[in-house]
Amino acid sequence: MTAAGGLYRQATRHEGAYTSRFKYDCTSKFARARVTSKVPRAACPPPTAFANGSALVFYNSTSYRDDLLWAAAWMYRATNDTAYLQDVNKYYGAHVDMEGEKDLSLTFDWDNMFFASNVLLAQLTDEGAFHVAVQDMLKQWICSTTGKVLFTPRGRAWNRASPTTGGTANAALLSLMYGQMKSKFLTVGKRDRYTCFARAQMRYLLGDGGRSLMVGWGKRPPTRPQSRSAACPKTGSCDKVRHLFGPGANPNVLLGAIVEFPAYDDAFADVRASNDSRVSIENNAAATSALAGLNQATGTWDQCLQGFGVLTRDKFVCDAAIYT
């Protein structure tokens, strides 16, 4: 908690995106610390995309107040200190006013923490505003009311702004966490539907879509994920042509990795050079949490198939007013 508190104070004292230009000039104590460190580093590299690191190229930050909101909410949860709740209100308003357009994409990922923050704050405070935000997001995911979220023929929900399996798992996690809480703003019908949506999406990833998308698990799992450690033999040299770019299955099973991008028609190319076969921590993070949550969740898959909004239009979510 000491470290978390110190990091939080630094983040709120020096607000900004981590992919922006360097904040400290060469005369600062931070620059001197880099130069005098035992680990050799270039002194004061110019503030370019590459000097800032590959994060700017691959994981550019388009907003930061939602991240401060996320941090304040977790600090409040950990300490019950109402000062953090005041920060929640400040950063919530600042994000909506200055960065709210980003939330129209309905995403929860490394760059978008708004909806995850609303789920957490709904749990912590049970205030209506947070429930409205979450239920509006989930309605668009489950009911495809705006066309921003679509479904494959076999049932995977995918977001136009973030169509990967990671995006699907992230939405499933939020739906599960929200569906498992009890609140005056949540009917039993909605709770069941939110949980069943999460269950359906995770079952798809594990094989209900026709084949498993998790390496080493289920029916016809991927055998050629893009992973150097999986593609190279355990002993001997690793040949780029034969191993990293070869057509054969990986000699090592990257157990549990979820491949990134099956097609919108549910097809999957188990080819190492294909973007379909990419794996990453960001693709697995929420899936791990969602699977853990489903081990404790109420209800069963059979109940979901008996009218809880899996096979038919969900009247409790799609046709009902928000938080009723």
Domain ranges in the chain are 22-60, 65-211+302-318
* 128-143 vs 165-179: helix crossing angle, rounded to 10: 130
Structure confidence at residue 64 (pLDDT): 94
CA distance 193 to 299: 10
Beta bridge partners of 151: 157
**CATH for 65-211+302-318, options being 1.10.287.70, 1.50.10.10, 1.10.3730.10, 2.40.110.10:** 1.50.10.10
Burial letters for 146-156: b for 16+ Cβ neighbours within 10 Å, e otherwise? eeebeebeeeb
How would you write 190-229 as a 3-class SS string? Answer: HHHHHHHHHHHHHHHHHHHCCCCCECCCCCCCCCCCECHH
List per-residue pLDDT tens for the chain, 324 residues long.
999 999 999 999 988 887 765 444 454 554 455 444 455 454 555 544 444 444 566 677 889 999 999 999 999 999 999 999 999 999 999 999 999 999 999 999 989 999 999 999 999 999 999 999 999 999 999 998 899 999 999 999 999 998 999 999 999 999 999 999 999 999 988 999 999 999 999 999 999 999 999 999 999 999 999 998 899 988 888 887 778 888 889 999 999 999 999 989 999 999 998 889 999 998 899 999 999 999 999 888 988 888 655 555 677 788 766 655
CA distance 116 to 109: 9
Structure confidence at residue 49 (pLDDT): 44
* 114-125 vs 165-179: helix crossing angle, rounded to 10: 10
Helix-, strand-, coil-residue percentages of the chain, each rounded to 5: 50, 5, 45
Structure confidence at residue 220 (pLDDT): 95
CA angle 288, 165, 176 (to 5 degrees): 50
For residue 318, count CB atoms less than 10 angstroms from its CB and return exposed for 0-12, middle for 13-18, buried for 19 or more: middle
Structure confidence at residue 6 (pLDDT): 95
CA angle 131, 300, 159 (to 5 degrees): 50
CA distance 26 to 33: 10
Structure confidence at residue 51 (pLDDT): 46
Structure confidence at residue 171 (pLDDT): 97
CA distance 227 to 216: 14
Token duo for residue 257: 């990795």
Structure confidence at residue 313 (pLDDT): 64
Structure confidence at residue 50 (pLDDT): 46
Beta bridge partners of 323: none
Q: Is 278 helix (H, G, I), strand (E, B) or coil?
A: strand
158 sits in which H/E element: strand 157-159
